[in-house]
Chain A
């Protein structure tokens, strides 16, 4: 499937990922420890005494030197043990296995919507460059980029959930449980997330397509008598596909981060909600585990993008 050059590139990228993972988890660990606040105080409860807080520190190993605590976490993680939540006692791997697919589902749904709507709009704008459709698309996408997605989310809830009852106002159904219902529950959050995504795709696609269509190479195609639609669909889109791929991969990574707020607005049990709550309560095993999964996801998306680059444009793998 992959040729030798591509395989070499893949190996190189995978090896590069190891220090990235270590660096990311180590910085997060240290940042969490540098933050004031103590999970032992939370754990000691309402009737906390100074002795009880000390006792809890000892019981949970929080009195160990930082580097030892980090070392223990890495050693466990290498063996697949992400430790347990300090607060609820649930194994972190179980929590993440439950919440990550939810976030991934919404992200993929949102990115799919962004592409399905953004690409036609981008092409439309580019093919009518300077015309009314172009201006309309550009205005719409400026609005899409400018509006914060949590605001769009709240407006959608008021209109489509509270006034019209078309979609649920809050909550989530796992796609493994009931795929159709999952889509129904995820639609409002995904559309809210996709608003800026589709705008971004449309804008980027339009500008690179306009640039390509105005190049000398395309003037020649035109001069040779090729119809405009074949110039656009066959040559134009292939030329901008690498750019489009870059936009989409960045979009996936950015949407992953943007879920934090949208998950809170819709009460979706996903990664964003989990990270925010765990950070506020200094539940560092959960934060560490979640960061690890996010970093691995971003690295994977980048890796897939690299492979697709090398397929679309074989020169890239050799660089």
Chain B
């Protein structure tokens, strides 16, 4: 080592504890000062920021597959028919009115002066293009929704005549879902097989700006929207944050204005945060056990009934949803227009009867079941409560858990693994769809592909023949009682919407579908 190097080294400060500590303190101070001025809050612009819980599967209503897409789609697309938020009864949307001149003809009268975001006029031809695309194109995931449509005619620029192959008064509500979301034919180049999954163009309150996968979807106000004063904000940004606790922190820190579909258990947490409000209410989302009635002991209706009767649903809601929710005795919540009191009575908690039924079926000593479920915390808690309740009638089992894609594939797909799957039904706008999708012999969600009770198809069909809501309710009553008597599924509890909002959010309400709409929201 030469002298120069030696000098340089000796010139270095001797290392003392005080210096190291003061250096660390300096670093921390610099970091803190760097952090203070920005303040992690949503900026004061008139843009609504929302935490969404999943990346959309597609922004083209015909090709998407996930129930969580609607919250994004409603921003960009209007539907032909809308619904009342509290009861889901149909009301005017892009179709100002509709009628059934006879049981197999539906006539839609369209709103005047509606245009798509790209300037294309919205008229009967556009409706015909969309409905034909949704029911026949190879890319369409929703062909089944429109299976009853035989042909669509544009009678005049504002009138569409839909001819049905069989009576189907469920169609107006089906048109409030994906099948009724109108896409600009120009944006598709008038080609029904084309898709606009990543560059959607509709007539909705906001027009699309950008979609960064797994991060955010940005839309800006569509000034020419046909409803006055809609939307209530200049833009909407949907931040995709799947993790629930992170979603709550995002609204707590003010980075977003709304965080929807939090778990019921988080309601207590939100209530403790003084800067946040809560929007809550029933939804169509029902936690339930799917039953493979083609397997082993479950082929016997007495066993299926016993499993259902042994569940104390009130206790189940208290234990698994912190009492935020309601017991589900059928596939619809109490607030729904087609809720059936008679069907609900069939599954009241009755341990004695459950034991008697099991004994009658030859399982007096109990029964071992092959149970399937999902590994998240909420699911595991529901499983524990169920096992504890079934234990009282000697029903045992262990839940084999795997992610949703894996276990639902095994259970509903070709493998047909498991007797029961603890999962949920997310609901459909028209209840007749719920019943036909859950219980029809060839339906994917009927894991055993078992034939439903005699008269089921006829009763479903009857519910689609009248456009009078009371008549429809009566027909659906019959369907619901039939499937609950046969216990083809075991409903457990209704999930409640739990949304945390910041204090400046106004005009945001829960709806029974459980898929929030933001067009009326304003920022105070």
Q: Chain B, 140-178, contact with A by CB distance < 8 Å: what is the 0/1 string?
A: 011111000000000000000000000000000000000
Q: Is the CB of A181 within 8 A of B405?
A: no
Contact of A264 among B138, B144, B246 (CB under 8 A): B246
Q: Is the CB of A157 within 8 A of B249?
A: yes
Q: Is the CB of B6 within 8 A of A230?
A: yes
Q: Is the CB of A47 within 8 A of B214?
A: no
Q: Is the CB of A162 within 8 A of B249?
A: yes
Q: Which among B74-82, B250-258, B382-390 touches the partner chain?
A: B250-258
Q: Is the CB of B213 within 8 A of A167?
A: no
Q: Is the CB of B15 within 8 A of A42?
A: no
Q: Is the CB of A47 within 8 A of B253?
A: no
> Looking across the interface, which residue of chain B has its beta carbon closest to that of A228?
B14
Q: Is the CB of A165 within 8 A of B39?
A: yes
> Looking across the interface, which residue of chain B has its beta carbon closest to that of A264?
B243
State which size class the interface on B falls in. 35 or more
Complex Cα–Cα for A194 and B23 (A): 18
Question: How far does the Cβ of B436 sit from chain A's closest Cβ, in whole Å?
Answer: 10
Q: Is the CB of B255 within 8 A of A44?
A: no
Q: Is the CB of A161 within 8 A of B58?
A: no
Within 8 A of B (CB), among A239-295: 264-267, 269, 273-274, 277, 280-282
Complex Cα–Cα for A124 and B253 (A): 39
Complex Cα–Cα for A45 and B415 (A): 19
> Looking across the interface, which residue of chain B has its beta carbon closest to that of A283?
B405
Q: Which among A16-24, A86-94, A305-313 touches the partner chain?
A: A86-94
Contact of A229 among B14, B246, B407 (CB under 8 A): B14
Question: How far does the Cβ of B478 sit from chain A's closest Cβ, in whole Å?
Answer: 23
Inter-chain contacts of B58 with A (CB < 8 A): 88-89
- Is there a chain B Cβ closer than 8 Å to A148's Cβ? no
Within 8 A of A (CB), among B368-420: 402-410, 412-413, 415
- Is there a chain A Cβ closer than 8 Å to B241's Cβ? yes
Complex Cα–Cα for A120 and B408 (A): 53
Q: Chain A, 69-109, contact with B by CB distance < 8 Å: what is the 0/1 string?
A: 00000000000000001011110000100110000000000
Complex Cα–Cα for A116 and B38 (A): 25
Q: Is the CB of A89 within 8 A of B198?
A: yes
Q: Chain B, 25-47, contact with A by CB distance < 8 Å: what is the 0/1 string?
A: 00100011011101111000000
Inter-chain contacts of B6 with A (CB < 8 A): 230
Complex Cα–Cα for A90 and B57 (A): 11
Question: How far does the Cβ of A247 sit from chain B's closest Cβ, in whole Å?
Answer: 20
Complex Cα–Cα for A261 and B141 (A): 34
Inter-chain contacts of A274 with B (CB < 8 A): 214
Inter-chain contacts of A282 with B (CB < 8 A): 405
Q: Is the CB of B444 within 8 A of A184?
A: no
Q: Is the CB of A230 within 8 A of B255?
A: no
- Is there a chain A Cβ closer than 8 Å to B353's Cβ? no
Complex Cα–Cα for A110 and B17 (A): 24
Q: Is the CB of A41 within 8 A of B408?
A: yes
Question: How far does the Cβ of B118 sit from chain A's closest Cβ, in whole Å?
Answer: 21
Q: Is the CB of B65 within 8 A of A166?
A: no
Contact of A269 among B40, B215, B444 (CB under 8 A): B215
Within 8 A of A (CB), among B56-99: 56-58, 64-67
> Looking across the interface, which residue of chain B has its beta carbon closest to that of A88?
B213
Inter-chain contacts of A195 with B (CB < 8 A): none
- Is there a chain A Cβ closer than 8 Å to B1's Cβ? yes
Contact of B250 among A87, A169, A184 (CB under 8 A): A169
> Looking across the interface, which residue of chain B has its beta carbon closest to that of A279?
B403
> Chain A interface (Cβ within 8 Å of chain B)?
35-39, 41-50, 52-53, 55, 59, 85, 87-90, 95, 98-99, 116-117, 120-121, 123-124, 127-128, 133, 154, 157, 160-162, 165-171, 181, 183-184, 187, 227, 229-230, 232-234, 264-267, 269, 273-274, 277, 280-282
Known: A44-B65, A187-B34; 12 extra A-B contacts, CB below 8 A, are A55-B138, A88-B213, A90-B213, A120-B23, A162-B252, A162-B253, A169-B249, A230-B9, A265-B246, A267-B250, A269-B215, A277-B55
22 CB-based A-B contacts, threshold 8 Å: A37-B409, A44-B141, A45-B65, A47-B145, A120-B23, A123-B15, A124-B20, A128-B17, A166-B35, A167-B35, A168-B253, A169-B249, A170-B250, A187-B31, A229-B14, A233-B12, A234-B1, A267-B243, A267-B246, A280-B403, A280-B405, A281-B405
